[in-house]
Every structure is written in C-alpha cells, then in structure tokens.
Structure 1
Amino acid sequence: MQRVGAFAAMIAEAMGCPPEYCEILYKAAQMHDIGKIGIHESVLRKSGPLTSDEWRLMREHPRIGASILAGSEAPVLQLAAEVSMAHHEHFSGAGYPQGLVGELIPLSGRIVALADFFDTLSIDRCYRKAHHDAQILEMIRERRGQQFDPRVVDAFFSIVDRLFQAREAINAAEEVADMTE
C-alpha cells in the first residue's frame, strides 16, 4: 500500500499538482483496495483464473471501498473514497464500476490506476511471478490512451527512474521490518 501511495504522489507531483494534494493523495491512495475487505479470502487468494462469478464479486471492491470511506469530513478520507471508486476505470471507458471515460474519471483515480498497475506487476502474486521492468514499461506504453490517461503516462515516464528507486527503497525498508518482527 505504501508503494502505491508513494508512486501516486510522485506522479501527481510530476503533473504539477500542488504539494498539499500530493500529500493527501499519498495517504488516500494507500486505501484504494480497502473494499477487498468485503471479498471472500478464497477469491482474493485464488491461485488460478477467476470464474465469471468470482470476477463479478471482485469487481465490486471499488464500490465496497467507496461505501466504507463515504461520508467523512476528513479530506484524506473523501479523496480515498474517490480513489477507491475510480481506480479501475479506464481512460477509454472500458473500466469499472461506472464505465467513466477520459477526464470524467477523477484525476486521483487516473493517477492511482497507473500507480497500482505498476506496483501490482512489480511484485510476485499468488497467481503469477513479478514481471520484468522492461515488460512493465512496455505494457504501460501499450495502454497509453486506452487504459491510462496519456498525461498520467507521460508524467510517469518523466520520473520513471525515481519511481524505480522509490520502489527499491520501500521494498528494502519492508524487508528490514519483516526481519525485525
């Protein structure tokens, strides 16, 4: 979660967003998948492909998360609710849960979508190994203008070396924390 927050804040900063927004986005982005608390563990940890029914369940986690976070007066929780609902929308309109298109998708969701994609492909999962960096970057390039906002992709590539450094630093810190437990 910390990686997604860091990546999102760094991308937002590269896009020229105000520092206050970047700081709140850093915290809010870490809650993007909070709705997965409403998805059964057997679906979340499944090692093989999901069935169509399991996908229907999984695709509800943005709504679940947004409903958990909704109604707060705290700006970070308001933004987190927005992020939760929007982080699986695609710039082309092919995403979910609302099928929003282009700039109708909140900027926070467009940024976190790419930050989450980068993070997800960078780490081993129960159903697949991490992708190589070159492959991840190619996948992002291929999805520019389709899954991802071109401006967000351009900002990502303008700081890609810093993103790799941040990923390695956070991973190293997590390893030290794991060893001390």
Structure 2
Amino acid sequence: MRTGVYPGTFDPVTLGHMDIIRRGAKLVDRLVIGVTTNPSKNAMFTVDERMAMMKREVADVSGEIHVVGFDSLLMDFAEREGAGMILRGLRGGGDFEYEFQMVGMNQQLNNRIETVFLMADVALQPIASRWVKEIAMFGGDIHKFVPPGVNADVIARVEQIGRKGS
C-alpha cells in the first residue's frame, strides 16, 4: 500500500490545500494529512480545531484519507505512518527555494522517503493561510479563498478575538 503524508499547519484550511489534497489522494492508496504546529507562525486555531476543520473538509474527498496531529520531526512522523512519500504544494518560486532546502535536510534524515511536489492550480496560487487570516482580521471577504465551512469558522474566530482596525 502506497502511503503519502501531506504535512502543514493548515491554519486555516484553504482552497489551495484542498486542491493539493484532492490531486494528491489520486497518487497514493492512503493519504495522511499531518496537522502540526510551527513556532514561527501565529496560530488562529488550536491543533484540535484545525484537525476537526480538516476532517470536515476532506469528508467528501475520494480515497483513503486520515487526519493526524503531530509534533515531531516530519521524517519521524512519516516513518511512523509508513509513508514512502511526502506531498508538498508549490505556489511559486519563493515556495520552491524554501522547499528545496527542506528536501535536502529531510533526505539527510531519511533518504527512503521521497518528496513529491504538486503545483497549485494557477487560480489558487496566490492563496496563503497567513493572508487569509490578515484579510479576515481587517474585515475583508475571504470566501474566495477558503471552503464555506472554514469561512464561517474564521469569521466566528475573528468575532471572538476582535477585528483589527475597528
């Protein structure tokens, strides 16, 4: 059974993430979506909230998909999940530079697991979770960037923590 891991913070889940998930699920028998933390990012949602959001959003995606939280090195997580592939989405050149360095480090940690890149759909390439959060915090409309359920989650969270610029 071919298993792939698609890791990320998914804070929040975007249409770009969903595009990569739908396409990536076709490449493997089992896709594990690894929801993690990143100390350099300011999270809007907890890991448990992001996992619940992701589970809801992938419920209608074809294929065997599992949503799992992790707080370890990616390669250790991938090994524990029995993955032979790390799936990563690319939006442009800036992503490539970052991912290129990460692949080199990951290969040093475990060269049995390959990294596969999928280019985001051209219409979705500008979307980034950090921009979605910023637009929402300033009262902007994010419905073009996230699934409807995530849109409602983000709006509710912004109302809870307070909008900037008001």
Structure 1 and Structure 2 fold alike (TM over 0.5)? no
Pick 1 or 2: higher relative contact order, CA cutoff 8 A, min separation 6: 2
Pick the structure with more strand per residue. 2
Pick the structure with more helix per residue. 1
Report the TM-score when normalising by structure 2: 0.36
Report the TM-score when normalising by structure 1: 0.34
